[in-house]
Amino acid sequence: MRIDVLKLFARQTYLDVFKSKAIMVLLGIIVILLVYAALSGAVIYQQQTESRQLYQKQVRENWENMPDKHPHRMAHYGYLVFRSKHPLSFFDFGMESFTGNAIFLEAHRQNTVNFSEAGFSTGMLRFGEISMSMILQLLLPLVIFFIGFNTVATDRENGTLKILLSQGVSWKEILIGKAAGLLGISLSILMLAIVILIMGCLILSPAGLMTDAISRAAWLSLFYVLYFAVISVIAVLVSAISKTAKVALISLIAIWLVCAVIFPRTSQALGNLLYPSPSITEFQSAIEKDLIKTGDSHNPDDPYYKALKDSILKVYKVNSVEELPFNYSGFQMKEGERISAELYNIHLERLLQTYQRQNRLARLSTFFNPIASIRNISMALCGTDFNTYIGFQQQTEAYRYQLAQHMNELQIKLISNKKLGDHDKPYSISRSHWKSFPDFKYKFTALQVLMKGEAYSLVALLSWIVLLGLLIMTLSKRLKAI
């Protein structure tokens, strides 16, 4: 292949765009939408981040200002935790609008994450939100298809293709050169998005997340370049195998509809059909049934805990819990918390395995749908995917368990076993213990873990590059000028 010929075809394809007022208007609309999506996304990120930080600060102040009281009462008083947004979430909203923002943590109970944006919105939210990622994943490829449908088909119709081939130009040079021209158009818009993305990282990222945000933005930019390379080659190949430009346009629109609408809905529906997941009520009921079988830690006459008490009394060689060197109620609460947490984690793991089976079907569809590939990768890098949400749940459950058991330990060590008289004050400990317990600190998933979690999507996107390269090699030997 001759580089100068490739440049000539790429330059011609690129400059032809400026001759069409309709295409220029479409690209102008894309640019305006990108700027609007960036500004609105940044505003949403700042507003929600400030609100969550404000409420989290108030929760912490209320916790620390609680008066002296019994530690078990503090365990039931609970703690409210808000989910942090990653700075790149202004670029790709992902699942954030449909997953909860806050979770109440308390002893003996695992609550769900509540207060999602979708819960306070109308049904129109299901049609999607205008974000930078949505524009790049769906709208810009559609415009590229409108530009690229006639790149080869029109030359075939007017006889130009026959002349080019007769003058020694190869099919490879035509296909690759015109695909490069379409990619150049895509990159012209993408470069604007990348500049906005980097500026957003610099402006929105807190000091501790700056390096992580820049690294994610760099990888995100690379994968979008590969995605638009796939889109550009598809447009040229469909144009090349179509007899007329009209057939090429209809074919490309059909491909876009299948990849953007039909495939995602079908894979989700099929996953839910093959691997149905329980409702929240069913999930919680199953846990309650198992808890009933193991015993009630608040009931001293429960068979399991009565046997536990008898064994403790026997070990310490005493006749009653009042003679024990520690608070037995706290010990019993600690054991009950351990059992309930283990049961919850078992059921949660089963539920997550069901979700993973459902998502595996969607991830396998990425080998047939490049839009699904870039969507999964984009959400993961922007911290708005399902795995990031599950990571938040797991971190909050670990914090809840730590808080509950810490209060139980304080009860075991600092609360007397002696029964209170009618005129005695309730047992309590100093409020300084509340302040000493650390605040919840959410840690975003490491970049390498994100990449591993989206292995299907990464391999699928690279496979599309390889497959389309092989198709160019194969079709360049079989295509005809007429």
Mean pLDDT of 187-201: 95
pLDDT digits 0-9 by tens, 337-369: 998 899 899 988 888 888 888 888 888 889 999
Mean pLDDT of 102-108: 90
Contact between 332 and 305 under an 8 Å Cβ cutoff? The reply is yes
281: pLDDT confidence band, cut at 50, 70 and 90?
A: confident
Which residue did the predictor score with more confidence, 6 or 140? Answer: 140
| pLDDT at 121 exceeding the cut of 60 | no
118: pLDDT confidence band, cut at 50, 70 and 90?
A: low
| pLDDT at 123 exceeding the cut of 50 | no
Would you say how long the chain is, in residues? Answer: 482
| pLDDT at 117 exceeding the cut of 90 | no
Instruction: Pull the structure tokens for residue 306.
Output: 């009565």
pLDDT digits 0-9 by tens, 198-225: 999 999 999 888 999 999 999 999 999 9
Report the chain's mean pLDDT, rounded to a whole number. 89
| pLDDT at 188 exceeding the cut of 70 | yes
Contact between 320 and 313 under an 8 Å Cβ cutoff? The reply is yes
190, 222, 205: which is closest to 89 by C-alpha?
205
Instruction: Pull the structure tokens for residue 53.
Output: 């930080």
3-class secondary structure, 129 = coil
Those residues with Cβ within 8 angstroms of residue 396's Cβ, 6 or more apart along the chain or in another chain: 81, 103, 105, 113, 440
48, 45, 95, 140: which is closest to 379 by C-alpha?
95
**pLDDT at residue 111, rounded to an integer:** 85
CA 437 to each of CA 25, 54, 75, 403, 405: distance values in angstroms, whole numbers, following the listed order: 59, 20, 12, 8, 12
**How far apart, in whole angstroms, are the C-alpha atoms of residue 266 and residue 167?**
48
3-class secondary structure, 333 = helix
**pLDDT at residue 300, rounded to an integer:** 65
Place of tokens 């610099």: 202
Instruction: Pull the structure tokens for residue 395.
Output: 């971190």
Those residues with Cβ within 8 angstroms of residue 428's Cβ, 6 or more apart along the chain or in another chain: 68, 69, 70
pLDDT digits 0-9 by tens, 63-85: 999 999 999 899 989 899 999 99
pLDDT digits 0-9 by tens, 16-28: 888 888 899 999 9
101: pLDDT confidence band, cut at 50, 70 and 90?
A: confident
| pLDDT at 422 exceeding the cut of 70 | no
| pLDDT at 124 exceeding the cut of 50 | no
**How far apart, in whole angstroms, are the C-alpha atoms of residue 190 and residue 140?**
9
3-class secondary structure, 82 = strand
**pLDDT at residue 423, rounded to an integer:** 66
Kind of pairing between the strands at 79-82 and 102-105 = antiparallel
Which residue did the predictor score with more confidence, 114 or 143? Answer: 143
Instruction: Pull the structure tokens for residue 237.
Output: 């190949």
CA 162 to each of CA 166, 187, 237, 242: distance values in angstroms, whole numbers, following the listed order: 6, 30, 17, 15
- 100-132 per-residue burial string, b: 16 or more CB within 10 A, e: under 16: bbbbbbbbbebbebeebbeeeeeeeeeeebebb
**pLDDT at residue 384, rounded to an integer:** 93
Q: Angle at which helices 303-316 and 328-364 pack, to 10 degrees?
A: 130
Q: How many degrees, rounded to 5, is the angle at CA 359 between CA 354 and CA 363? A: 150
**One-letter amino acid for residue 412 of the chain:** I
**pLDDT at residue 89, rounded to an integer:** 94
**How far apart, in whole angstroms, are the C-alpha atoms of residue 147 and residue 152?**
11
Instruction: Pull the structure tokens for residue 313.
Output: 């009394």
3-class secondary structure, 65 = coil
**pLDDT at residue 122, rounded to an integer:** 46
Contact between 374 and 224 under an 8 Å Cβ cutoff? The reply is yes
Give the whole-number percent of the chain exceeding pLDDT 70. 96
Mean pLDDT of 421-446: 87
Contact between 138 and 371 under an 8 Å Cβ cutoff? The reply is yes
pLDDT digits 0-9 by tens, 224-253: 999 999 999 999 999 999 989 999 999 999
Residue 258: phi, psi to the nearest 5? -65, -45
Mean pLDDT of 279-302: 80
292: pLDDT confidence band, cut at 50, 70 and 90?
A: confident
| pLDDT at 426 exceeding the cut of 90 | no
Which residue did the predictor score with more confidence, 318 or 127? Answer: 318
Mean pLDDT of 287-298: 79
- Report which listed range, 117-121, 129-133, 141-145, is most confident: 141-145
Mean pLDDT of 178-202: 95
**pLDDT at residue 403, rounded to an integer:** 94
116: pLDDT confidence band, cut at 50, 70 and 90?
A: low
What helix, strand, coil percent values describe the chain, rounded to 5?
Answer: 75, 5, 25
